[in-house]
Structure 1
Amino acid sequence: MARNTNDKWEELSRGVAAFLDHAVDESGKSRRTIAAQTNINKDALRRILAGTRSATLPEALAILDASGHAPRTSLMLALAGYSQRSKDWQNSGVLEFLETFISELPSALDQALGERLLDVRPRWAKGTAHRTAGLLSDHLAQLERQDEQSFAL
């Protein structure tokens, strides 16, 4: 069991390192500049990006921030195994949307549910995520219809 857990951790660590390396490469900044902005020794940064040394959480967040990513959301996606999705969404505004969405969700849940929040079940998460995405899709479709009506006039 421990072997399997170690293999998963190593694979995840390699994925995070590759994601951080990609973020730095796509930033247009030199590694020396990223090292200076993050206060990470340039040799330590090189090892982190090569995957020979794991980044600490503060280091990973600092690297992503210096690279122009939404750091918390980017790292969360990378840790969940969605590094490629985070790369794909890097310049689309989706990461910033998710960053704000996740930051606002606890307050929104408290406000909307109050004491009923304690009745929420983990098994509802997937369906709720799909329902939320559907609501967002409906909202975008409504905005598109309004734009079409505005141009038709």
Structure 2
Amino acid sequence: MRTTMMLTEEVVRADLARLLVAAVEESGRSRGQIAHDAHVHRDALRRILAGTRSASLGEAMRILAACEVKPHAQMLLFLVCGSDQAVAWLQSDLADFFAEFSAEFPVALERILGNQIADVKPRWAKGTALRVARLLSDHIVELERKDAFLGNFFAGEAGGARV
């Protein structure tokens, strides 16, 4: 978890610049194209990427979108986990999963917990996260097992008459 000491303007600007530079580099597009599509002046984009100028939230989102990155997923990862995780998961299904999960989780909590939602304690977060990750891992294993079974089943059917 980040402390307020780590949230100085310079640190946040440098971290965001790191994410934006990675997105620009992975996009394969020129900085001129990105600046044009993001509606950001080319010199402003250069300074944002250098970390000498802060990007507004709108500018950061438009730059990510111009890089053909899902801006909400990347900004959510950046805000919650920091630039290291956001860069590591850049353009990945994990980033998309995280954004979708984060949007659905509050609704699911309210629906499932109902009146118990007021009883949830912050200290339970880490253990709950581990439990959800374990559950997801088990789900993936089960889906892979079913895919293999169905693949074998349909391969047998295509190979000849069934007895």
Give, in whole Å, the separation in 2 of the partners of 1:150 and 1:133: 26
Give, in whole Å, the separation in 1 of the partners of 2:134 and 2:5: 35
Give, in whole Å, the separation in 2 of the partners of 1:80 and 1:142: 30
Question: Counterpart of 1:137 in 2: which secondary structure?
Answer: helix
Give, in whole Å, the separation in 2 of the partners of 1:122 and 1:73: 24
Where in structure 1 do 4 or more consecutive aligned residues deviate above 6 Å? none
* Alpha-carbon offset, residue 81 of structure 1: 5.1
* Alpha-carbon offset, residue 9 of structure 1: 4.5
Give, in whole Å, the separation in 2 of the partners of 1:128 and 1:9: 32
- Size of the aligned set, in residue pairs, is 150
Give, in whole Å, the separation in 1 of the partners of 2:112 and 2:65: 32
Q: Superposition RMSD on alpha carbons, in Å?
A: 2.0
- Note the residue ranges of structure 2 that are not aligned, 5 or more in a row: 154-163
* Alpha-carbon offset, residue 38 of structure 1: 1.5
- The AA in structure 1 aligned to 2:142 is Q
The residue that corresponds to 2:161 in the other structure is none
* Alpha-carbon offset, residue 32 of structure 1: 1.4
Give, in whole Å, the separation in 2 of the partners of 1:7 and 1:24: 24
* Alpha-carbon offset, residue 151 of structure 1: 3.5
Does 1:77 pair with 2:61? Answer: no
Whichever of the two has the greater Rg, that structure is: 2
* Alpha-carbon offset, residue 13 of structure 1: 2.3
Give the TM-score normalised by structure 2: 0.81
Whether the 8 Å CA contact 1:70–1:99 is kept in 2: the answer is no
- The AA in structure 2 aligned to 1:14 is A
The residue that corresponds to 1:98 in the other structure is 98
* Alpha-carbon offset, residue 8 of structure 1: 5.0
Q: Assess, with a 3 A threshold, how the Cα gap between structure 1 residues 17 and 9 changes in structure 2: closer, same or farther.
A: same
Question: Counterpart of 1:90 in 2: which secondary structure?
Answer: coil
Q: Assess, with a 3 A threshold, how the Cα gap between structure 1 residues 70 and 7 changes in structure 2: closer, same or farther.
A: closer
Give, in whole Å, the separation in 2 of the partners of 1:80 and 1:109: 19
Taking the TM superposition and a 5 Å limit, the aligned residue runs for 1:2-151 are: 5=5, 9-80=9-80, 82-151=82-151
The residue that corresponds to 2:159 in the other structure is none
* Alpha-carbon offset, residue 123 of structure 1: 1.2
Moved more, 65-74 or 76-85: 76-85
Whether the 8 Å CA contact 2:65–2:71 is kept in 1: the answer is yes
